[in-house]
């Protein structure tokens, strides 16, 4: 589906992400608000075909609001294997491992849907998606961090089953926070539409 006239364009998201990359900096806390956060693919059988441009911009805005120029920026911000484990665990049918990547207060929003709040609800949603039989491919165009805050931005694709046709694609942005040495997702936002190009990912 094409993004609507009030949707975020690839160039506008890329410009915001570029600014975040140059100015990303750790702050003391990150608390998601009720209007911000999300996940990438949603159950195809129940999907609402509307993009989530506002939430995508809000997630980028959260990164920018919590950061300032000056501190060193590293890439990757989140360990590549940890980030890739979302896709691997999902495609292996392990909803517990996927949910473990999220903080207790994390929020995820399936494009066009209300936020899903908390790790337990996230696990149920992921489990329902797994039971539907869909498989995912998740890329990463940017993976940038500073201190205990990082973001990952890239494309995703949903397939009707292993080896099946693509039924959805789009772009996502995740905001990660490191707590006691462990990285977790606080915000996860997706928007259906032409995806951004990804960098090569490790083999499963």
Q: What pLDDT score does 46 carry?
A: 31
Q: What pLDDT score does 102 carry?
A: 98
Q: Is this structure's pTM higher than 0.75?
A: no
The full set of domains in the chain, from first to last, is 10-192 (3.10.450.50)
Q: What pLDDT score does 112 carry?
A: 83
Beta bridge partners of residue 192, listed in sequence order: 170
Task: Provide the residue-wise pLDDT of the chain in tens; the chain has 204 residues.
Answer: 222 223 333 333 344 444 444 444 444 444 443 333 333 444 333 333 343 455 555 555 555 544 554 569 999 999 999 999 999 999 999 999 999 999 999 999 888 889 999 999 999 999 999 999 999 999 999 999 999 999 999 999 999 999 999 999 999 999 999 999 999 999 999 888 877 777 665 554
Structure tokens at 151: 């973001």
Q: What pLDDT score does 61 carry?
A: 59
Q: What pLDDT score does 12 carry?
A: 38
């Amino acid at each position: 589906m094409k993004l609507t006239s009030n949707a975020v364009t690839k160039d506008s998201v890329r410009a915001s992400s570029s600014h975040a990359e140059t100015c990303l900096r750790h702050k003391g806390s990150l608390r998601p608000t009720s209007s911000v956060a999300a996940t990438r693919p949603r159950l195809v059988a129940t999907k609402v075909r509307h993009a989530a441009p506002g939430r995508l911009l809000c997630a980028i805005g959260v990164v920018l609001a919590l950061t300032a120029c000056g501190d060193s920026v590293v890439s990757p911000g989140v360990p590549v294997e940890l980030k890739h484990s979302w896709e691997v665990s999902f495609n292996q049918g392990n909803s517990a491992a996927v949910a473990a990547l999220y903080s207790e207060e994390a929020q995820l929003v399936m494009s066009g849907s209300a936020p899903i709040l908390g790790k337990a609800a996230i696990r149920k949603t992921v489990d329902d998606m797994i039971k539907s039989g869909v498989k995912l491919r998740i890329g990463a165009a940017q993976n940038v961090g500073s201190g205990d805050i990082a973001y990952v931005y890239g494309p995703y694709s949903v397939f009707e089953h292993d080896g099946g046709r693509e039924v959805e694609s789009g772009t996502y942005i995740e905001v990660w926070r490191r707590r006691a040495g462990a990285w977790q997702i606080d915000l996860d936002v997706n928007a259906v539409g032409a995806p951004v190009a990804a960098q090569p990912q490790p083999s499963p």
